[in-house]
Amino acid sequence: MILILLLFFVASIYVQQNKKKLIEDARKSIEVKYNSLVSINDIQLSLFEQFPNLSIQLKDVDVKGPKYNLHHQKLFLAKSISIRIKTWPLILGQIVFNKTKLTNGQLFIYTDKDGKRNIVEVKEKQNKSSSSFPEKIELNNFTISIKDDQKLKDFNFLIHSLNIKTNETKSKILFNVKNKIAVKALIFNHQKGSFLRDQLLEGDYIVDYNKIEKIISVNKIDITISKIPFEITGQFDLKKNGLFYLNIITNNIPFQSAKSILTNNINRVLKEITITKPLNINAIIKGPLSGGEPTVIANWQVTNTNIGNSQIQFTSANIAGTFNNQVNKNLAPHDTNSSINLSKLIGNWHQIPIETNNIQISNLTNPLLKGGFKTEFNLAALNPPLNTENIVIKKGYGKFNIYFEGPLTNITENNTRLKGSLEINNGEIFIKPIKKIITNTFADILINNNTVEIKKLTTKTKEGSQLNITGISTNSLAAIPNSPGKANIILNISSPFLDLNNFSSSIQQDVPRFKKSGKNTFSRIDHILENETIHINLTAKSIKWQKLIANNLKSTIELNTGNWQLKNLEMNLGKGTIVLSTKMITTNNRKFLSAKYQVNRVKAEDLFYGMNSFSLPGISHKNIRGELTINGLLTTKLNQQGGIEPSNIKASVNFQLKQGRLLNYEPLLKLQEHIFKKRNLDSLYFATIQNNLSIEKGNIHIPRMEIATSALNLFIGGDYGLDGKTKLHIQVPLNNMIKRNQSKKMNSSSNDNKGGTSLFFKALSDKTGKVTIKIDPKGSQYKKEQIAH
């Protein structure tokens, strides 16, 4: 120890007395060797820096490099360089350096766009040197940057600590390395972004350098990247045009951590994907050391995970996949030459089992998805992914087969290929808008690019209606929300028997709905029902509406954004026909109905029975007979339940009743309390009655008309209240007192006849709707006003 102190004392005196010369010699030595401008602020001999060995310390070393005037980038900076001198050789009179320690510095190796490098001269000088590699190297808080603007590379490492021990033989050097290094940039191409950005690398391992072959190699060394363990095997061929090879293995790495070590370009494709369980990854990276993008092939596996994006999620999935950035070996590695393949995906989409081995995302610059799957499933499992308030599937069995080829975004008919089929067996489905369950549902549906075709769909309602449906949807991709245009959906529905009462609630008023979560939503059924145009061609051999039974129904229905239109509905009622066109539109969240109707030569009693007497008080199918013809217009506002309230109806009714008969009609029977007490007014025949009625605010206005019956002729006019508020004017000509042949009078009746001297009555209803007959003192005035019109 005393000897060491003595040596230190003597050496310190020497260094102190010759400091200027030593600094100058060191500076010139570096300048000559590296062809660089060098400055050294101070030189010292230290006993304690690398005790118990002496060390020479250079302070504030600045090496500008041979191209500083061109690049304005310094080659090397160091706050402190400590070179350790072995003690025992020094005692024997030999100076042996065995450790170099660099603190608070940087090394910057730069190549400009013209290929001029700031270290060319350094390498030439170093190649001529025969000095051996230092036994030990230590770096602390030291930055190494290698930037190549010609090849668009940028490597930047912040070395928190690096300790290297060397063991050199004639043929190789073994480096025992212990490091803690932060990767600031590992860019092979500026346009692609950095691998391992801001990741911390830590490890304790051995690096083998074969001096003869000029190959650096590592074999299954353990390194952690941001605390996640990796096993790395590889080699770097330092000869001209040499290659490098790396095999990187890690297990149980979280997906977010795996993404964080990849470039921005790759992450752009992966950013919408979530994987909940950690992955096992085995990656191979290889390429030329001289530059260019390396080839990357990464195989990965994950078990029992959830995987998906905002649109679709798979649960309990076992997945195996590969990333390859050189799919075509004849082309260079590039994002456009890259792919992500799923060689295995076994999992569940909600409760639907999914299995596939052929899903690929290629061309990461403009990603294209290619692949599909087949599945067989319980139909009720479709309820969560359909995520619709309008349809609830109770039971059934389904088969689904889908294949897709096209972009991940901006999907259009021209850039997408889609093939698929859906088979439904014995389905039972609740349809909320009509509050009905359809059963025995069988369907065969094909998807071909932009077209969806219903080859066959049959179903029944529990009330006995049967539907046979075929159809086609073109421009189907427009049914996706935010897609341009509209889908064109055409359905052909036929039925041997159709109970329209089953579907009467389908026009009900919209009610407030709870907002449903869009999470995991794949279907857009509600979107289609609420926003797309649907054309329906409907035919039925027999239909029931209220109590009406009609035959040979034909109609066209158009549903469009919450509105619907019934065009040219035709059906037979007995020997007569009914023609109807109806439209329902929504304005300010209220629904309005308009209709144009025509009834031709229909039995009045059948129509009144079938339509529940149109809710007219005091008259029903029991009171009327004859051949009825009607045409007119109707508008009304629907109530919250989709029903029609009499007070909202506004209509015109042009009717004609031929060969008619009135049976037990209460106003005429009440008339007998005043006159014609001995005449049979409970059964009256008449040839023709015709008039133009108007309906508004719950009131039917009847212009004065003549009714020439088999027992008498009379005139009736006024208002018939649908809500019970009736006020009818009845004129009974006195010539009815004379018995005569009424058949002649029945055939010559006219609403313009004055009727001669007459008695006038009025039929009034009370609050209960009961009708009473009273003398009408203003009846003559009413007659004059009506005839004047």
Domain chopping of the chain, boundaries: 699-789
How confident is the model at residue 749, as a pLDDT?
A: 67
Question: Phi-psi category of 135—alpha, beta or left, where left has phi over 0 and alpha has psi -120 to 50?
Answer: alpha
H-run or E-run covering 330: none
Angle between the N-to-C axes of helices 2-17 and 19-34, in degrees from 0 to 180, rounded to the nearest 10: 80
Rg (CA), the chain: 48
* Structure tokens given for 3: 């000897």
Query: Judging by beta carbons within 10 Å of its beta carbon (0-12, 13-18, 19+), is residue 474 exposed, middle or buried?
Result: middle
* Structure tokens given for 16: 């102190």
| b (16+ CB within 10 A) / e for 531-551 | bbebbbebebebbbbeebebe
How confident is the model at residue 265, as a pLDDT?
A: 77
- Would you say 157 and 184 are in contact if contact means Cβ atoms under 8 Å apart? yes
- Would you say 497 and 543 are in contact if contact means Cβ atoms under 8 Å apart? yes
How confident is the model at residue 176, as a pLDDT?
A: 95
**Number of residues written out for the chain:** 789
How confident is the model at residue 514, as a pLDDT?
A: 40
Report d(CA 108, CA 143) in Å as an integer. Answer: 8
Would you tell me how many other CB atoms lie within 10 Å of the CB of residue 489? Answer: 21
Tokens 């096209």 label which residue? 406
Report d(CA 602, CA 207) in Å as an integer. Answer: 102
How confident is the model at residue 524, as a pLDDT?
A: 53
How confident is the model at residue 745, as a pLDDT?
A: 60
Distance of CA 169 to the CA centre of its chain: 64
Which three-class secondary structure state does DSSP give residue 772?
Answer: strand
Report d(CA 698, CA 687) in Å as an integer. Answer: 29
Q: Is the peptide bond before 52 cis (omega within 30 degrees of 0)?
A: yes
How confident is the model at residue 741, as a pLDDT?
A: 63
How confident is the model at residue 24, as a pLDDT?
A: 62
Task: Give the chain's residues under pLDDT 70.
Answer: 1-35, 46-53, 85-97, 120-133, 311, 433-434, 476-487, 502-532, 562, 617, 641-642, 723-724, 739-749, 769
Alpha helices in 629-738 (DSSP H): 666-671
What does DSSP assign to residue 663? Answer: E
Which three-class secondary structure state does DSSP give residue 773?
Answer: strand
Report d(CA 323, CA 297) in Å as an integer. Answer: 6
Would you tell me how many other CB atoms lie within 10 Å of the CB of residue 69? Answer: 9
Which three-class secondary structure state does DSSP give residue 785?
Answer: helix
Report d(CA 537, CA 554) in Å as an integer. Answer: 8
Tokens 């001529």 label which residue? 128
Distance of CA 566 to the CA centre of its chain: 32
Report d(CA 249, CA 230) in Å as an integer. Answer: 6
- Would you say 405 and 370 are in contact if contact means Cβ atoms under 8 Å apart? yes
Closest CA to 192 of 342, 300, 296: 296
How confident is the model at residue 428, as a pLDDT?
A: 93
What does DSSP assign to residue 65? Answer: -
